[in-house]
Chain A
Amino acid sequence: NAGVTQTPKFRVLKTGQSMTLLCAQDMNHEYMYWYRQDPGMGLRLIHYSVGEGTTAKGEVPDGYNVSRLKKQNFLLGLESAAPSQTSVYFCASSYERLYEQYFGPGTRLTVT
């Protein structure tokens, strides 16, 4: 039982490049979330999903897209990376809305 895993752990991109971050969970959770964490800012929600095939915008969705084609996977895409997207990205999942969120180990992304 791996919990929540994220791929990759680290990545350096040049401005304008694109990439996809993969989040996978093996707990059969309905809800999945993508957060970014910047120094002194706490965790800010980018996008979330309340079930397979559904996605919704969070607080800071601009510049990101997501897909949830399979229940266990939640993908976060950056179409044209910008230096402002340099951050640590965390994926999380939960069984339902008012249950604890389990976080993945994070992806450290640097955009130069």
Chain B
Amino acid sequence: QQPVQSPQAVILREGEDAVINCSSSKALYSVHWYRQKHGEAPVFLMILLKGGEQKGHEKISASFNEKKQQSSLYLTASQLSYSGTYFCGTEGSGGSNYKLTFGKGTLLTVNP
């Protein structure tokens, strides 16, 4: 089942902060975050694993609440280059799924 992302869209001015949320109805093993600019391929940002391990981007932070099956991506002091659509991908618990289910995306626009 597709995770639910919120908000669907957000507009910021350069330097402002944003939080993008990802929520699942099933238990999760990992959450992955990607950013896609218009007309381009998605690019990896971060992986958060059950148990607290994180791998990814140094300038972007995220959290993973295993009990609530939720993850949040924190974008601080936003830059113009942060504009794009952000997708979370979730992997169900059980350890043998090998595949991600992506949300519908959050469109982030950063204006000067």
Query: A residues engaging B (CB < 8 A)?
Result: 31, 33, 35, 40-45, 48, 50, 56, 58-59, 90, 97-106
Contact = CB atoms under 8 A, between A and B. Distances in A.
B99 A45 contact: yes
Contacts of B91: 97
Interface residues of B, number: 24
Contacts of B2: 42
Contacts of A100: 32, 44, 47, 55-56
Nearest to A31: B98
Interface of B: 2, 30, 32, 34, 40-44, 47, 49, 55-56, 87, 89, 91, 98-105
A41 B102 CA distance: 9
B79 to A, nearest CB: 21
Given A42-B87, A90-B42, A103-B41, A59 B101 contact: yes
A31 B44 CA distance: 16
B43 to A, nearest CB: 7
B23 to A, nearest CB: 14
